[in-house]
Amino acid sequence: MNWQSKFNNLKVCVLSLSMALSAGLVGISGVAATGVADASAAMELSVTGDSYSRLVLFKEGMFPEQAATLIEGWKDIQATILPETGLIRLSGSSPTLVREAELAVLQAFTDAVEYTGSDPKVELKLDDSEMIAASLTPQIVQQNLVDIKNIGDNPKLDKSFSKTMDFEGLNANRGEETVRAEELLYEKWGWDIKEVTDDWKSHDIQRGSRDVVIAVVDSGIDSSHPDLKDSLIGTGKSFVPGIESTDDNLGHGTMIAGTISADGKLLGVGPGLGLVPYKVFDTGKADSSWVVEAIVEAVNDNVDVINLSLGTYKSLLKPDDQAALLAYERALAYAQLKGVTVVASSGTDGLNISDPSILAQALKWDASELAVHAPGGLPDVITVSAYNRQHEKAFYSNYGLHDMIASPGGDYGSTWFTKGELNLTSMCLTTYPTHLPQSELSKLVGLPVGYEFMIGTSLAAPKVAASAGLLIAEAKERGYRLSPSAVKDMLFETANDYGEHGADEDFGVGGVNVYAALMRLNP
């Protein structure tokens, strides 16, 4: 039973949300007056730099046109209005003025307001592998890395470096390694993409089309990367206040982009697919409203698929969380209504996200709390967990939903936890901004600038997003359009069964196989 059904059984009021053309989703709601009153009293303001913010969410079909006129009179308040979700974000440099603005909206439109609340942060948790890579010294790598000279496609390879091998000798051979890496990068290191494409066979059917656009809601994309520059069909948009560029200063978004449609030294799942960046991170944190706004903007831009390799945990009971949580659900429902497929990662805390009570306990919340992971785990989104090269659930991957699909996200190898041996063939290699420093790990292996090893559900989700894009591209060539539900059904029905027979907690329906899904379109 999924968390929505369990929550209904707790007899908490459930809002039946019908958007513009009667598209539906399950929304979480309490007594509206209580939510507004509690939020107004507590006034927990979200802080971003020198800016404070609050969210005001209106009831379905009751978003007032007069709200814009009211807000225009506030010179020191910035307001973001999203009528598609019924959301207004109020922000300013003075917490007092933000409070006054919120109260003014409440007084003017009391009967129309569903919730007011904070704008919770979404933290971009760069997976442990990046921190490990950044902290590895040549000496540590020499002692623990699997022999790079013998690395091939054997997933069981666990041969360690000889501790007598000196690092200078390895440096002397780096030039030879670099040449081979440049020539055969995707063949040597692309096991995860091979998994999804069935050893590249899907590329013989469909490589993607620039007319099929994947929105990468993340930290931006390195537009100068040689493997990605031809995939970018637009500059996109930044939702980070004060930052207009969608270039990637963190690396995460470029990693996602390469997994989708790299076409060069690396190959993505769909090298021909188009990419557009929607930047919500410039540091490691973003406001939830920025993500909601990016989803809505991408839908209005007529993209085909949205990738969300990000997430946060929200309370089903805390009034201050309800505005953000319901705004997420409405944005996802809006995408569904407009025919846009949304794919999101399940998270990297190794938690069971199927039961709100158990999840709250695992997060060490109050005993009476209920928690959900958002946006992955919510309705109207394909949630993706991660597995390793041995087809086991990755140790970091959140799990538990039967209505979920898995994808290769990699790990450190089968002897990492027992012997401390780091097996690079078990990690995922993907694109990285060329202007950011290389890790010691990539330098050691002799990788060209612009490529890094990584693991995580963040890399699992875009493989499914790209698979969805390939199905949409194939259908378009045949003269019809696949709905989000049709895309999901096709991916789920053709998934590889890596767990127990049928859907299970670790893999959901199984591991994505885009070749099998494309073959379903080509009987």
**One domain for residues 228 and 361:** yes
- Is the same domain home to 349 and 220? yes
Boundary residue ending a domain (104, 119, 134)? 119
Residue 47 has a pLDDT of: 64
- Asked whether residue 113 falls in the same domain as residue 211, the answer is no
Q: What is the pLDDT of residue 302?
A: 97
Q: Which tokens hold the place of 237?
A: 């948009």
User: Do 341 and 430 lie in a common domain?
Assistant: yes
Q: What CATH number corresponds to the domain at position 328?
A: 3.40.50.200
Low-confidence stretches of the chain (pLDDT < 50) are: 1-42, 127-135, 146-182
CATH label of the domain that carries residue 55: 3.30.70
Residues with catalytic roles:
218, 252, 458
CB count within 10 Å of CB 437 equals 12
- Residue range 149-205, pLDDT digits in tens: 443 333 332 333 222 222 222 333 333 444 344 456 888 899 999 999 999 999 999
Predicted pLDDT at 251: 95
Same domain, 344 and 437: yes
Query: Is position 175 within any domain?
Result: no
- How many domains would you assign to the chain? 2
**Predicted pLDDT at 502:** 61
- pLDDT confidence of residue 129: 43
Decide if 181 is inside a domain.
no
Residue 416 pLDDT: 85
Q: Tell me: do 392 and 476 sit in the same domain.
A: yes
Last residue of a domain, one of 69, 89, 119: 119
What does the DSSP 8-state code read for residue 439?
P
Domain boundary among 119, 137, 158: 119
* pLDDT score of 23: 26
Sign of CA dihedral 478, 484, 486, 492: positive
Residues 211 and 99 occupy one common structural domain: no
Instruction: Note whether 353 and 51 are within 8 A (CB).
Output: no
* Enclosing domain of residue 281: 191-521
Of 322, 462, 367, which is closest to residue 14 (Cα–Cα)? 322
Domain contains 133:
no
What radius of gyration do the chain's Cα atoms show? 23
User: In the prediction, which pLDDT does 124 show?
Assistant: 81
Kindly provide the residue ranges of all beta strands, DSSP E only, lying in 70-210, ordered along the sequence.
78-82, 87-92, 113-117, 121-123
Pairing of strands 51-58, 78-82: unpaired
pLDDT at 383: 98
Do 258 and 394 fall into the same domain?
A: yes
